[in-house]
Amino acid sequence: MPGTPGPTVAVALSHVEPQVGAHLERFLELARECEAGGADMLVLSEHVLLAEVITGHPGTASSFPFPGTEQYPEPLVTLGAVAAVTSRARLSTNILIAPLRPAGLLAKQMAILDCLSKGRLELGLGTGWHEPEYAAMGVPMERLPQRLDDLLRACRALWSNRPASFTSETVSFTGLYCCPAPVQDPLPVWIGGDANRGMARRVAELGQGWTPMGGDDPALIRAGLALIREACERIGRDPAGIGVRASIFPPRDAAPGERIARMLERVPPLVEAGVTCVQVPLPNLAARVDDAREAIAEVVAGTRALAGTAG
Q: For residues 254 and 265, is the Cβ–Cβ distance under 8 A?
A: no
pLDDT level of residue 310 (50, 70, 90 thresholds): low
pLDDT level of residue 287 (50, 70, 90 thresholds): very high
* pLDDT reading at 134 higher than 50: yes
Q: Is 61 left (phi over 0), alpha (psi -120 to 50) or beta?
A: alpha
Per-residue pLDDT at 62: 52
Q: Is 71 helix (H, G, I), strand (E, B) or coil?
A: coil
Tell me how far apart the alpha carbons of residues 224 and 175 are, in angstroms, rounded to a whole number.
38
Tell me how far apart the alpha carbons of residues 178 and 159 are, in angstroms, rounded to a whole number.
7
Tell me how far apart the alpha carbons of residues 167 and 176 are, in angstroms, rounded to a whole number.
12
Per-residue pLDDT at 106: 98
User: How many CA atoms lie within 13 Å of 238's alpha carbon, on the beta-carbon side?
Assistant: 2
CA angle 80, 86, 90 (to 5 degrees): 75
The per-residue pLDDT for range 152-183, each reduced to its tens digit, is 999 999 999 999 999 999 999 999 999 999 99
Pairing of strands 8-12, 41-44: parallel
* pLDDT reading at 3 higher than 50: no
* pLDDT reading at 59 higher than 60: no
pLDDT level of residue 57 (50, 70, 90 thresholds): confident
Closest to 127 in 3D by CA, of 61, 192, 219? 192
Per-residue pLDDT at 92: 98
What is the arithmetic mean of pLDDT over 14-28? 98
Contact residues for 261 (Cβ-Cβ < 8 A; gap 6+)? 302
Whether the pTM exceeds 0.85: the reply is yes
Q: For residues 304 and 310, is the Cβ–Cβ distance under 8 A?
A: no
Per-residue pLDDT at 5: 57
Task: Please report which residue ranges of 69-195 form alpha helices under DSSP H.
Answer: 75-85, 103-116, 131-137, 144-160
Q: For residues 219 and 209, is the Cβ–Cβ distance under 8 A?
A: no
Per-residue pLDDT at 256: 85
Among the listed ranges 54-58, 60-64, 240-244, 305-309, which one has the minimum average pLDDT value?
Answer: 60-64
Q: For residues 246 and 275, is the Cβ–Cβ distance under 8 A?
A: yes
Q: For residues 127 and 142, is the Cβ–Cβ distance under 8 A?
A: no
User: How many CA atoms lie within 13 Å of 164's alpha carbon, on the beta-carbon side?
Assistant: 22
Per-residue pLDDT at 64: 85
Taking CA atoms, 176 is separated from 154, 155, 300, in Å, by 11, 12, 44
What is the arithmetic mean of pLDDT over 126-152? 96
Torsion from C-alpha of 220, 58, 41, 298, nearest 10 degrees: -70
Closest to 36 in 3D by CA, of 291, 262, 283? 291
Q: Which domains does the chain have, with CATH numbers?
A: 8-307 (3.20.20.30)
What is the arithmetic mean of pLDDT over 235-254? 95
Q: Is 93 helix (H, G, I), strand (E, B) or coil?
A: strand
Q: For residues 153 and 32, is the Cβ–Cβ distance under 8 A?
A: no
Pairing of strands 172-176, 164-167: antiparallel
Per-residue pLDDT at 307: 81
pLDDT level of residue 122 (50, 70, 90 thresholds): very high
* CA 137 centroid distance within chain: 22
The per-residue pLDDT for range 261-273, each reduced to its tens digit, is 999 999 999 999 9
The per-residue pLDDT for range 195-237, each reduced to its tens digit, is 999 999 999 999 999 999 877 899 999 999 999 999 999 999 9
Closest to 195 in 3D by CA, of 224, 232, 230, 217? 224
DSSP-derived letter for residue 165 is E
What is the arithmetic mean of pLDDT over 92-108? 97
Tell me how far apart the alpha carbons of residues 77 and 32 are, in angstroms, rounded to a whole number.
17
What is the arithmetic mean of pLDDT over 186-198? 96
